[in-house]
Structure 1
Amino acid sequence: MASFHVMAGPGEMLARPAIRRIGLSDIWDALARGFDDFRAKPSHYVFLSLIYPICGIVLVTWSSGANMLPLIFPLVAGFALLGPFFAIGLYEISRRRELGMDTSWRHALEVRHSPALPSILAVGAMLMVLFVAWLVFAQMLYTDLFGPEPPQSLALFLASVFSSENGLLLMLAGNAIGFCFALVVLATTVIAFPMLLDRDVGAVAAIETSLRATLMNPVPIACWGLIVAALLIVGTIPIFVGLAVIMPILGHATWHLYRKIVVDERR
Structure 2
Amino acid sequence: MTQQSENNNPEDPGLPFPKARDARLGAPFRWLARGLSDFKSCPIPSLFYGFCFAGMGLLVTMVFEHAYEYTMAVTSGFLLLGPFLAMGLYEISRRRELGENCSLAPTLTVWRRNAGNIGIFAVVLGVVFLVWARASLVIFALFYSNEVPNLSGFLSQVVRLENLDFLAVYFGVGFVFASIAFGVSIVSIPLMLDRNQDAISSMLGSIGVLFRNPGTMLLWAVLLVSLTIIGFLTFHLGLVLLMPIIGHATWHAYRELLEPLP
Q: Which moved more, 1:138-147 or 1:30-39?
A: 138-147
After superposition, the C-alpha distances for 1:194-234 in whole angstroms (9 at most, x for unaligned) are: 11110112000100100111111111111111111111111
Give the alignment of 1:39-78 within 5 angstroms.
39-65=40-66, 68-78=67-77
Contact residue 91 and residue 107 of structure 2 kept, 8 A = yes
Cα RMSD, aligned residues only: 2.6
Contact 1:14 1:205 in 2 (8 A): no
Give deviations 1:134-178, integer Å, cap 9, x for gaps.
11111001111248xx94763997499569998222222111111
**Counterpart in 2 of 1:170?**
166
Look up the match of 2:5: none
Q: SS of the residue aligned with 1:172?
A: helix
Cα deviations across residues 120-140 of structure 1 (Å, max 9, x unaligned)?
Answer: 121122112111111111100
- Write out per-residue CA displacement over residues 4-31 of structure 1, whole angstroms, 9 at most, x where no aligned residue: xxxx931246741222111123222111
Q: Are the equivalent residues in 2 in contact too, given 1:34–1:253 (CA < 8 A)? A: yes
2:108 match? 109
Deviation string for 1:235-255 (max 9, x for gaps)?
Answer: 111222211111110100000
**Aligned twin of 1:258:** 254
In the superposition, the TM-score normalised over structure 1's length comes to: 0.86
**Structure 1 consecutive aligned stretches of length 4 or more whose deviation exceeds 3 Å:** 12-15, 150-166
Gaps of at least 5 residues in structure 1 are 1-7
Aligned length: 254
What letter corresponds to residue 125 of structure 2 in structure 1? L
- Cα 1:186–1:152 change in 2 (3 A) is closer
Q: Does 1:216 align with 2:207?
A: no
2: CA distance between counterparts of 1:100 and 1:135? 42
**Which whole-Å CA distance do the structure 1 matches of 2:57 and 2:141 have between them?**
24
Cα distance, 1:21–1:146 mapped onto 2, change above 3 Å: closer
- Which structure 2 residue ranges, 5 or more long, are not aligned? 1-8
AA matched with 1:259: R
Deviations 1:171-191 (A, max 9, x none): 221111111111111111100
Maintained 8 Å contact 1:191/1:206: yes
Note the C-alpha offset of 1:111: 0.5
Could you say if the C-alpha distance between residues 174 and 76 of structure 1 is closer, same or farther in structure 2, counting changes exceeding 3 Å?
same
1:1-267 to structure 2, matched below 5 A, reads 9-12=10-13, 15-65=16-66, 68-114=67-113, 116-146=114-144, 151=147, 154=150, 158=154, 167-266=163-262
